[in-house]
Structure formats: C-alpha cells, structure tokens
Structure 1
C-alpha cells in the first residue's frame, strides 16, 4: 500500500512555508551552481533585506565561489611571504574558514586590519564582517573577534 497516513506528510515538511526564492537558492547551492545561488539569495534580499537565512546563504555561497580553484599551499605560501598582501590574507582566511579553522581565519583578518590602512584596511574589515555572517553573530568566536577588531580599529 502506498497510502500515507494523514499528518505524516505534513510532519516531514518545514513548519513555515518555504519561500520559493529561498528554495531556488538552496537547490542551486546543492547542485553546486554557486553563481545561481548567489543571484537567487540576492533576489530574496532585494525583497526582504532583513532575511537572515538569505544573508547567511549569500555569505556562504560567495565564500565558496571565492575559494573555487584556489590552491591551498600556494595561498598559504603567498600569505606567509607578505603579511601586508591583503588579497593573499583574504584568500587564506577564506580557506581557513572553509577548512573549519574559524579562529585562524578571524585572527588573520584582525591582524591584517591592524597592519594596513586606508582602502586595504577597509577591504580586510569588510571581508571579516562577511565571514562573521557565515558563522553567525551569536557564535562566541564571532563575539571574540569583534572585540579584537574593535581594539585594532580604535
């Protein structure tokens, strides 16, 4: 018998109706279509700027897009060779974060912000804020890194 008991199908579904635009973004992400996912999350945020799920999804998709095709060893070597090379530090932080080395990623960017000035400093600071989105503002590692960032900025 292929009959489904009443209530059984409903229990499997999420409690809140899924936003079709968010579904499209998740599907694109699952399929590995990062460009499509980024666009879909941006579409959601254009209509609902405060959508936390879309903000998080966009930050994650953009992070994954940035590390596509990066060579871990080469990136680490470049970052170690020139601590003031902001691009190299950003790439290394991205790879750290994806590799689960959250504190390393945050620490690297906080240090970079402390070492740089002007546009470079802004670039590093904005990337750090983006990575905070990926982890989530409530995470104690984000809270600690925010404090460290405030110390180097002021």
Structure 2
C-alpha cells in the first residue's frame, strides 16, 4: 500500500491531540485554532476545538453542585449551560440538548443567544450526522421560529 502523504496540518493536529490527552485544554484549544485560522473548514480541527473547549469548561466542576444549581434555578442560563456540558460529557446527549433547547425557549436576548450558541457548539462535539443532533436542530428551529 502506498504511503498517504502528510497533510499540511498533521503536525499541528497531532500536537493538539497530544495536548488534549495531557489535559492541557488551553494548549489544545490554541493548536486547533491555529489550524482553523488557515483552514476554517478543517473537520478534525473543528471537532477537536469543540471537544477541548467542552473539557476545559467541565474541568474542576462539582457535578452535584452544578446539577443542584440547575435544578433549583431553571431560568438561570449559566447554570443550564454548565449542567448541559456535564450531561454531554457524561454521555447524556439528549438531556444536554433538551436542557439547552428549553433554555432557548424560556429566555430572551443575551441569555437566549448564549444557550443557542452553546447548543451549536455541542452539536459540533457530537457531529452533524448524528440523529440526536438532527432531532435537536428541529426542536431548536421550533422554539426560535
């Protein structure tokens, strides 16, 4: 079999993946952003950036405290954002998406934008082909329009 030639960003993507593996989320974010500044459509860098940002956000969170805060304050967008991040990292994809669609429905202005943008970021982590993303996009469209 022929060797596949190295892509122009392979070294940067490898460095970013190594940073991610070492829990250096800031380093991984920067490395992925470097690739995206030259190649904005790079799917590997887009996915890696979304993952690194998500893992950086949940690092050091107290899951019980975050979930209690979100349950006690359904209208508090930052609490819902944090809980959705934890849901996604914990494999509860539909819960994360549902929580954020509900936050978009319930809020307005900057809070609504924050919930909508976080939902779009989490779609990147899961991938656009996933049926859960498709279903959540449909729900989001319903609450927006």
Name the TM-score class by shorter chain. over 0.9
Q: Distance in 2 between matches of 1:61 and 1:144?
A: 24
Q: Distance in 2 between matches of 1:47 and 1:113?
A: 33
Q: Does 1:70 align with 2:57?
A: no
1:32, distance to aligned residue in structure 2 (A)? 1.4
Q: Does 1:60 align with 2:51?
A: yes
Aligned positions, number: 143
Which residue of 1 is the match for residue 130 of structure 2?
139
TM-score (normalizing by structure 1): 0.90
Q: Does 1:17 align with 2:10?
A: no
TM-score (normalizing by structure 2): 0.95
Which residue of 1 is the match for residue 89 of structure 2?
98
Q: Deviations over 1:25-53 (max 9, x none)?
A: 01111111111000000000001000010
Runs of 4+ in 1 over 4 A off after TM superposition: none
Which residue of 2 is the match for residue 111 of structure 1?
102
Which residue of 2 is the match for residue 124 of structure 1?
115
| Rg larger in structure | 1
Which residue of 2 is the match for residue 28 of structure 1?
19
Q: Mind listing any 5+ residue stretches in structure 1 that lack a counterpart?
A: 1-6
Local SS of the residue matching 1:20: helix
Local SS of the residue matching 1:74: helix
Q: Distance in 2 between matches of 1:80 and 1:47?
A: 42
